[in-house]
Amino acid sequence: MKRTAGYTLIELSIALVILGIVIILVWQFVGFNSKYAISNSERNILRSADMAITGFALSHNRLPCADTTGDGQEDCAGGAGVGRLPNVSLGLSQATANQIRYGVYRSAATPLIGDADLAVAVDRMPMLAMSSTTLAAYDLFRGVGNGIDLCVGLRNAANNSLDNNLLHVVTPEANVNVAYALAIAGTKNADQAGGLMDGNNASVNPEFDAPAKVNDGSYDDRVVAVSFNRLLGRLNCAQTLASVTHGNANAATAAEMMHQSMLEYKIQLDLNAKLAEADYAGALSGIALATAAVAEGAAEIALAIAESLTTLGAQAPAIALAVAGEVAAAIGLASALLNLIPATDAWDEAKANVTRFLDEGYVVRSATLATDFRAHANAGDAAGVY
């Protein structure tokens, strides 16, 4: 009997099994690629948002406030620490960017040297004041701040104790406060709690799940959280604070050195006055000696005349010698008188310099300045500004 060409039931069954396996593999591959594409898109959006926040911090000297109205603009009034990402304020055009949950650490404090409200730009770094104003009261207007002040705020926040009422991430070990956090929902309501955000990311409290939390059947969100120290590093705060916070101590040292210089300069002025006085006294002594020489010369002339008379003119040449000596003595007296004029002027000027220096109060003023600078530097050290 001739065999009819075609598939047997067994061959058909095998083909169907193979086809089913291929379909399953293709379906799983397509699903995997789809999940990978979604995951990669979420990762890129979060990365863009993270970079935009860093750029905002560099240009505004603070972190952006949360968007609490859904219009993409930051809402700073009210001090809300959690809301949506203010994508319009950050210049992000992604349609899904405003769906990102965003939180920022906000811990206001007075005086401002201890403030850690990272969404507000204030002057947290008190510079050296040349008055008796105490460091604790040195508090400038809110809204005035720079990058140094943001660095100080981050450092204050890093030194604060854990506060679960402020922005934090939840980990199995312990909760941790962070500078800011971002969370983007997965494609499904994995935890079946009523929204796309899962776990702590759906909380009304300022809390997020840790970025390292594993995605599983009940969680498919993605989180980025930036710690205080990490943001300090991004903003290069270590070098900035190191250079700035040494200013108070350096200024105090310079003020003390200037005071010592004023003391030494006063000693130099006094010494110059003493030397000028000595020169003046020397000039007076020269006049006295020259005057004595003139008197002695006159006596020599008289004696020479007397001797010439008693010797019938034999000692007449002595008169000429005595007259020559008298002329020399007179010239010496004139020179001594001339030397007295500049010596007097120099002494007067030296005394005037001392008087003027004392009247200006350079020694007292430099001492006061050094004391104030040292007090502010010590106060800054005690307050932990450095």
What is the mean predicted confidence (pLDDT) over 184-190?
83
Quote the pLDDT of residue 132: 56
Q: Which of 146, 222, 227, 212 is nearest to 180 (CA)?
A: 227
β pairing state of 207-209 and 168-170: parallel
- Asked if residues 209 and 169 have their Cβ atoms less than 8 Å apart, the reply is yes
Quote the pLDDT of residue 33: 46
Q: Which long-range contacts (CB under 8 A, 24 or more apart) does 332-338 make?
A: 332/289, 332/290, 332/293, 332/294, 333/287, 333/290, 333/291, 333/293, 333/294, 334/290, 335/286, 335/290, 336/283, 336/286, 336/287, 336/289, 336/290, 337/287, 337/290
Instruction: Encode pLDDT of 275-312 as tens digits.
Output: 988 888 887 887 777 677 667 767 766 676 666 666 65
In sequence order, which residues have a C-beta less than 8 Å from that of residue 292 and are 6 or more positions away? none
Q: Is the pLDDT of residue 323 over 70?
A: no
| Residue with more model confidence, 274 or 140 | 274
Quote the pLDDT of residue 23: 73
Q: Which of 344, 111, 288, 209 is nearest to 352 (CA)?
A: 344
Q: How confident is the model at residue 182 (pLDDT cuts 50, 70, 90)?
A: very high
| Residue with more model confidence, 1 or 213 | 213
Say what percent of the chain tops pLDDT 70: 74
Enumerate the CATH 1.10.287 domain ranges in the chain, comma separated.
249-382
CA distance 149 to 241: 9
| Residue with more model confidence, 87 or 142 | 87
What is the mean predicted confidence (pLDDT) over 321-328?
67
Quote the pLDDT of residue 18: 75
First CA to last CA across the chain, in angstroms?
104
- CATH fold, domain 249-382, is Helix Hairpins (1.10.287)
Instruction: Encode pLDDT of 219-243 as tens digits.
Output: 989 999 999 999 999 999 988 887 7
